[in-house]
Amino acid sequence: MKRRDFVQLTGLGIGGMLLPFPSMGNPTTIEAMLDTPLDIRQKKQLADVALNTAKSSGATYADIRIGRYLNQFISTRENKVQGIENSESFGTGIRVIVNGTWGFAATNDVTNDGVKKATLRAVAIAKANSKFQKEPVKLAPVKAFGEVVWNTPIQQNAFEVPVSEKVDLLLKANAGALQNGATFASSNLFMVNEQKYFASTDGSYIDQNIHRIWPTFNVSTIDKASGKFKARQALSAPMGMGYEYMVPKKEDKLQGPAGMVLYRNSYDIVEDATLAAKQAKEMITAKSVEPGKYDLVLEPNHLGLTIHESVGHPLELDRILGYEANYAGTSFATLDKLKSGTFNYGSKIVNIFADKTQPGSLGAVGYDDEGVQCKRWDLIRDGILVNFQAIRDQAHILGQNESHGCCYAQSWSDVQFQRMPNVSLAPGKEPYSIDQMIKDVEKGIYIAGRGSYSIDQQRYNFQFGGTVFYEIKNGAITGMLNDVAYQSNTQEFWNSCVKICDERDYRLFGSFFDGKGQPSQVSAVSHGSATARFNGVNVINTGRTI
Partner 1 sequence: MAILSKEEARKILEKVLSFSKADGCEVNLNGSDGGNIRYARNSVSTSGEDSNISLAVQSYYGKKAGSATINEFDDASLEKVVRRAEELAKLAPENPEFMEPLGPQTYGPSKTWSEATAKITPDYRAQAAANSIGPASAKDITAAGFLEDNRGFTAMMNSKGLFAYNQSTNVDFTVTMRTNDGTGSGWVTRNFNDVSKLDTAEASKVAIDKALMSRNAKAIEPGKYTVILEPAAAGDLIGLMLFGMNARQADEGRSYLSKKGGGTKLNEKIVDERVNIYTDPQHDDVPASPWMPNGLARKKMDLIRGGVVKNLIYDRYWASQKNVEAVPLPGNRIMEGGSASLEDMIKDTKKGILVTRFWYIRAVDPQTLLYTGLTRDGTFYIENGVIKHPIKNFRFNESPVIMLNNLETLGKQVRVGGGGGPGGGGSSLIPYMKIRDFTFTSLSDAV
Instruction: In angstroms, give the least distance from the CB of 476 to partner 1.
Output: 28
> 41 vs 134, which CB is nearer to partner 1?
134
DSSP 344: B
> 24 vs 379, which CB is nearer to partner 1?
24
> Amino acid identity, residue 85?
E
458 binds partner 1 (CB under 8 A): yes
User: Do the strands 417-418 and 532-541 form a parallel or antiparallel pair, or are they unpaired?
Assistant: unpaired
336 binds partner 1 (CB under 8 A): no
41 binds partner 1 (CB under 8 A): no
> 164 vs 250, which CB is nearer to partner 1?
164
Binding mask 81-120 for partner 1 (x = CB under 8 A): xxxxx--x--x---------xxxxxxxx------------
> Amino acid identity, residue 473?
K
> 112 vs 458, which CB is nearer to partner 1?
458
What is the distance between the alpha carbons of residues 407 and 483, in angstroms, rounded to a whole number?
A: 39
121 binds partner 1 (CB under 8 A): yes
> 98 vs 239, which CB is nearer to partner 1?
98
Among 17, 161, 175, 335, contact with partner 1 (rule: CB under 8 A): 17
75 binds partner 1 (CB under 8 A): no
Site for partner 1 in 397-426 (CB under 8 A): 413, 415, 417
> 442 vs 456, which CB is nearer to partner 1?
456
Count other Cβ atoms within 10 Å, centred on residue 51. Answer: 25
153 binds partner 1 (CB under 8 A): no
3-state secondary structure of 26: strand
What is the distance between the alpha carbons of residues 245 and 240, in angstroms, rounded to a whole number?
A: 9
Per CB under 8 A, the segment of 55-63, 194-202, 293-301, 328-336 that binds partner 1 is 328-336
- The greatest distance separating any two alpha carbons of the chain, rounded to the nearest whole angstrom, comes to 74
> 351 vs 416, which CB is nearer to partner 1?
416
Residues 6+ apart with CB under 8 A from 189: 72, 73, 74, 166, 169, 170, 213, 214, 215, 216, 246
Cis omega before residue 162 (within 30°)? Answer: no
163-179 helix and 269-285 helix, angle to the nearest 10 degrees: 30
Binding mask 129-148 for partner 1 (x = CB under 8 A): x-xxxxx-------------
> 353 vs 493, which CB is nearer to partner 1?
493
* Alpha helices in 286-382, H assignment, sequence order: 300-307, 317-321, 335-340
Per CB under 8 A, the segment of 78-86, 250-258, 344-352, 505-513 that binds partner 1 is 78-86
What string of H, E and C letters represents the secondary structure of 225-290? CCCEEEEEECCCCCECCCHHHHCCCHHHEEECHHHCEEECCCCCHHHHHHHHHHHHHHHHHCEECC
Instruction: In angstroms, give the least distance from the CB of 132 to partner 1.
Output: 5
Per CB under 8 A, the segment of 188-196, 208-216, 256-264, 324-332 that binds partner 1 is 324-332
112-130 helix and 40-56 helix, angle to the nearest 10 degrees: 40
Instruction: In angstroms, give the least distance from the CB of 516 to partner 1.
Output: 12
How many residues contact partner 1, by CB under 8 A? Answer: 89
Binding mask 477-496 for partner 1 (x = CB under 8 A): ------x-x-x-x-------
Instruction: In angstroms, give the least distance from the CB of 254 to partner 1.
Output: 28
Residues 6+ apart with CB under 8 A from 56: none
What is the distance between the alpha carbons of residues 393 and 388, in angstroms, rounded to a whole number?
A: 14
227 binds partner 1 (CB under 8 A): yes
The β-bridge partners of 384 are 344, 381
310 binds partner 1 (CB under 8 A): no
Helix (H) or strand (E) holding 86: strand 80-98
Site for partner 1 in 423-452 (CB under 8 A): 452
Per CB under 8 A, the segment of 79-87, 191-199, 234-242, 271-279 that binds partner 1 is 79-87
Binding mask 160-189 for partner 1 (x = CB under 8 A): ----x--x---------------xx-----
Helix (H) or strand (E) holding 348: none
Among 228, 396, 439, 443, contact with partner 1 (rule: CB under 8 A): 228
Binding mask 202-221 for partner 1 (x = CB under 8 A): ------------------x-
377 binds partner 1 (CB under 8 A): no
The β-bridge partners of 113 are none
Closest CA to 276 of 229, 350, 217: 217
324 binds partner 1 (CB under 8 A): yes
Instruction: In angstroms, give the least distance from the CB of 138 to partner 1.
Output: 13
User: Do the strands 204-223 and 146-151 form a parallel or antiparallel pair, or are they unpaired?
Assistant: parallel
Among 33, 38, 120, 124, contact with partner 1 (rule: CB under 8 A): 124
> 82 vs 155, which CB is nearer to partner 1?
82
3-state secondary structure of 223: strand
